[in-house]
Structure 1
Amino acid sequence: MKRAIYTLGLGIFLGLGLSMPAHAQQTLKKGKVSITKERLKDKIKGGWAGQTIGVTYGGPTEFQYCGVTIHDSIPIKWYDGYIKKTMIDVPGLYDDLYMDLAFVDVYHRLGLKAPVDSFAQAFAHAAFPLDQANQAARYNILAGMGAHEAGHWINNPHADDIDYQIESDFAGLMSPGMPNAASAISDKVGHIMNYGDGWYGGVYVGAMYTLAFLYDDVHLIVKEALKTVPVKSDFYKCIADVIQWHQEYPNDWRKTWSKLEEKWANDYCPDGVFREFDIDAKMNAAYVVLGLLYGNGDYGKTLEISTRAGQDSDCNPSTAGGILGTLLGYDHIPAYWKMGLQEAEDIDFKYTTLSLNKVYDISFQLALDMIRKYGGKVGENEVQIATQRPKPVKYEKSFPGMYPTDRVDLWRDVKDTASLRFKGTGFVWRGTTKAVKAGTPDHVFLVDVYIDGKKTETVKLPTNITTRRRDFCWKYQMPDTAHEVKIVVNNPNPDYELLSLSYVVYGTKPVAH
């Protein structure tokens, strides 16, 4: 593929499909870049196809390798027809795209001024299953909580999890060359389920997508996009470390992985505290960047590294594959990775009415709308984008001054009442509900929560997988003293289980574990 490379003030612009007018240096400062409609759509298609390829490839390894890398001797399958087979046989794998598609559909139906509540209600009432921050937010919204309260760390113990990071692709793909426009979308949508570093994951990923429309250098994309994240955030510091370590160890991605593990493997998600499991946004974003930097534009190598880094190893190659797919464009994703894709492009993703072919077209139209909105022009065969220099979003931090100090595994069925005692400034009590026998109608447990002898709330704990509460109860910013938490089941039923899993305690200082 022949490229004309223009070295200009902000970086290197992709020559294929882009045209630079006279006095390009001055034009760049004004932020005007032209691209053919054909090339614009090809890049949008590359982004969506790249996500689908990446998540399909990494699917079998998701959270199978936690705290370790996947050795090169372990094969990861890929063959012609695999994408279609997976979409039909394992539709739940594509939860990476369900939320993306739900948000695209809202914009498609309601336009660019769609209110935040429309996005919140769209996924809260959707039929697809969710987990982590998404499910916690869904429960909050169904319980009547405001959209931007649902993802706040006070109300969502999973606020720093990966959720919006893996569903922010749509924001970047509809904002070509406009990272700050993508950040505005992320501010509206991403705060429904995440906050702080969890939100920054989506801001950063969205920005990388937008810059993939302009630059053909993944190293530049990684660095420029990070300018959208406040420098004092842990998310920024973590990704900056990856960039620095890549410079120090340019041929050894596992060395950088080891340094990441040593410094940043401190998941605050109650599922991962003092465990190898890590669903933290910044750590998994680091694996995306690991793949992009060490992959160096090679599609297969990028997917391999972001998958073999472990943890959420379907989401991470999905993100990396989508960003690189946008940079390359659909037509230039290697044929090996697209084999069998075409026969899957008209299949609607389960729980949706959208297929890849449909979302290619919708995203293209949304991109044209965004180009117009932000001062660009749309012609018959070409568009002119008013490009943006990345600007940092506002600073925010989840769980300030809080550190995990203890974790106690319980694994016991709660018949009518249960309690726990601890010393600290906060806790999360993890639990789940289910029917004893398959096919039993759903049941909603009504549970009173008492903290230090005072009733604080009555919570609904549905057995329905799509409406369940992600954790029994939690509270932060408590006095640093001894506490007792008690739950009382108002409507016990022998046909259903209320299973207490574990609890995590937080304090004011980190502890060795």
Structure 2
Amino acid sequence: MKLIHILISIISFSISLKVNAQEFYSLKHTELQNKIKGGWAGQMIGVSFGNLFEFRYQGSLINDYQNLPWEDGYLVPSLNQDDLYLDISFIETIEKEGINAPISSFSNAMAHAGYYLWHANQAARYNILNGISAPQSGYWVNNPHADCIDYQIESDFAGLISPGMPNIASEISDKVGHIMNYGDGWYGGVYFGAMYSLAFVSKDVEYVVNEALKSIPENTTYHQCISDVIKWHRKYPNDWKQTWFEIQKKWTDDIGCPGGVYTPFNIDAKVNSAYVVLGLLYGNGNFERTMEITTRCGQDADCNPSSACGILGAVLGYDAMPSKYKKGFPAVESENFKYTHTSLNKVYQLSYNIALENIKNYGGIITNNSIKIPKKQIKTVRWEQSFEGIKPFEKRGIGHKLEDEYTFDFTGNAFVINGEHLLKAGNHTDSEKLADIAIIELYIDGKFTETIKLPVNYIVRKHEIAWKYQLENKQHQIKLKLLNPSQTSYVQLNDVIFYEKTKNE
């Protein structure tokens, strides 16, 4: 019996040691505030710096002789940037309903807002407004843009309110990121959120880049792409352009985004992530060099430096960022981001307040003098991959105004029809501009498949006319039937992309 008591005491003491051995990150309140401010300000600087070059260089570097100008006034238009006002929408949702707000609150905030959206965000908005709720709104079968950059450029908020807690950032991303993305598109946001989170507790950019990647499953194309960039950086430590060329050779085939298949345009999450990681690694903690390299990689040349500078801004803190780029902030910090009720000054404070709540819920210790955040092993999120079993084999021009019916045949297992619903030339009332909706029936192999609604209103438009994945790999006939021809608008069919079964399926 005495021996049993001794064993129980030893076990209890051992458990006590494990509890007491919990390690913590330590931050001062001013340090946390400074890093949050640096993260938000870095985004605004980066997006303003690259704004003139957004998608002007597609599959091409921005030449060294091309000057990348900067003026203090460049910050003003950043209040109307989609990679910022969407973040703000999500922060406002948390302000209203708390950190545990349901996915429906975040998705409705985005879907019913008055701001302009594109790609995965717009496809998700249309889905939500037409009965496909989140997270199905972001699933690739319902959203041809599932692998696009969208949540990646909006996930900053998840990391900025989760300092030193990448697992919490990933939980937020699991909820919000699946509103508009899936697979690689979602992983981009998970990874960036984790980098922001780790930026609060390490000044080593290479560590942040490598450690955050643990949140992504290794057997995904996203992980493989970023791992390659890290490998090439080690192989060519003084030649970022060589790494850029390696990225181009291996990772620039976009099979998802209808605007990027068979074109040099590329808004795929993983390749634009690769440019951000390239900029962070070769910038080596230098804010201006990081921003310039990331911008010169081309493609989404404003969102990418926004992400890189936001992450590095959180690493450095606002006070350590170059004064050259901060002179314009007094003119914008009290102004609300467009379509929101929140200014930059307010989002600094909101992010700080939410971060403290997250830290407390995570088991952190907050006193008047310090903040202690528990150190925990990074969890890898679940595996998922978009556009499995398909590859594009043809892009066929249509160039046809749909007045009644249009039919075509193909042999394969998927198709996407690009086009738009447009107003005819002439003067139109506001009601005509906003209310006109084309109604189209889609038939596949003679069977009615769905009724498609095409609003002429750009805010709630459908990004593509129609698509269908996961068909049987055989010959198909597709028919579009317009039910309500309009006197004021028309449906333009531009082209159709065909897919076939991949060899390993």
Q: Place the TM-score, normalised by the shorter chain, in its bin.
A: over 0.9
Amino acid across the alignment from 1:339: K
1:299 to 263, 281, 287: 287
1:328 to 1:415, Cα distance in 2 relative to 1, 3 A: same
Pairwise mapping of residues 468-487 of structure 1 onto structure 2 (< 5 A)?
468-487=461-480
The separation in 2 between residues aligned to 1:44 and 1:439, in whole angstroms, is: 46
Runs of 5+ consecutive residues of structure 1 not aligned to the other structure: 1-25
Match of 2:297 in 1: 309
Give how far 1:510 is off: 7.3
Pairwise mapping of residues 497-508 of structure 1 onto structure 2 (< 5 A)?
497-508=490-501
Provide the secondary structure at the position in 2 that maps to 1:485: strand
Matched, 1:245 2:232: yes
Amino acid across the alignment from 2:448: K
1:439 to 1:344, Cα distance in 2 relative to 1, 3 A: farther
Give how far 1:28 is off: 11
Match of 2:407 in 1: 419
Pairwise mapping of residues 165-184 of structure 1 onto structure 2 (< 5 A)?
165-184=152-171
Pairwise mapping of residues 108-123 of structure 1 onto structure 2 (< 5 A)?
108-123=95-110
Identity of aligned residues (%): 49
2:446 to 443, 447, 453: 453
Provide the secondary structure at the position in 2 that maps to 1:102: helix
Matched, 1:100 2:92: no
1:246 to 1:451, Cα distance in 2 relative to 1, 3 A: same
Match of 1:17 in 2: none
Matched, 1:46 2:19: no
Give how far 1:459 is off: 0.9
1:439 to 1:390, Cα distance in 2 relative to 1, 3 A: farther
Q: Deviations over 1:247-280 (max 9, x none)?
A: 1111111111111111011112111012111110
Provide the secondary structure at the position in 1 that maps to 2:158: helix
Q: Deviations over 1:65-112 (max 9, x none)?
A: 10101001111220123213x34xxx54x1111111110000111111
With 129-138 and 408-417 compared, the bigger mean Cα shift is at: 408-417
Give how far 1:387 is off: 2.7
Give how far 1:360 is off: 0.3
Match of 1:367 in 2: 355
Runs of 5+ consecutive residues of structure 2 not aligned to the other structure: 1-17
Matched, 1:71 2:63: yes
The separation in 2 between residues aligned to 1:180 and 1:282, in whole angstroms, is: 21
Match of 2:307 in 1: 319
Provide the secondary structure at the position in 2 that maps to 1:501: strand
Match of 1:348 in 2: 336
CA-atom RMSD in angstroms: 1.6
Amino acid across the alignment from 1:224: E
The separation in 2 between residues aligned to 1:215 and 1:27, in whole angstroms, is: 24
Provide the secondary structure at the position in 2 that maps to 1:52: helix
Match of 1:12 in 2: none
Give how far 1:439 is off: 4.3
The separation in 1 between residues aligned to 2:48 and 2:450, in whole angstroms, is: 42
Pairwise mapping of residues 136-175 of structure 1 onto structure 2 (< 5 A)?
136-175=123-162
With 45-54 and 433-442 compared, the bigger mean Cα shift is at: 433-442
Give how far 1:27 is off: 10
Match of 2:9 in 1: none
Match of 2:218 in 1: 231
1:174 to 1:425, Cα distance in 2 relative to 1, 3 A: same
The separation in 1 between residues aligned to 2:339 and 2:396, in whole angstroms, is: 37
Match of 1:259 in 2: 246
1:177 to 1:489, Cα distance in 2 relative to 1, 3 A: same
Matched, 1:328 2:316: yes
Match of 2:10 in 1: none
The separation in 2 between residues aligned to 1:466 and 1:60, in whole angstroms, is: 24
1:128 to 115, 118, 123: 115
The separation in 2 between residues aligned to 1:245 and 1:337, in whole angstroms, is: 30
Pair member with larger Rg: 2
Provide the secondary structure at the position in 2 that maps to 1:325: helix
Give how far 1:198 is off: 0.6
The separation in 2 between residues aligned to 1:31 and 1:449, in whole angstroms, is: 59
Matched residues, number:
481
1:27 to 1:226, Cα distance in 2 relative to 1, 3 A: farther
Pairwise mapping of residues 268-279 of structure 1 onto structure 2 (< 5 A)?
268=255, 269-279=257-267
1:339 to 327, 330, 338: 327
Match of 1:13 in 2: none
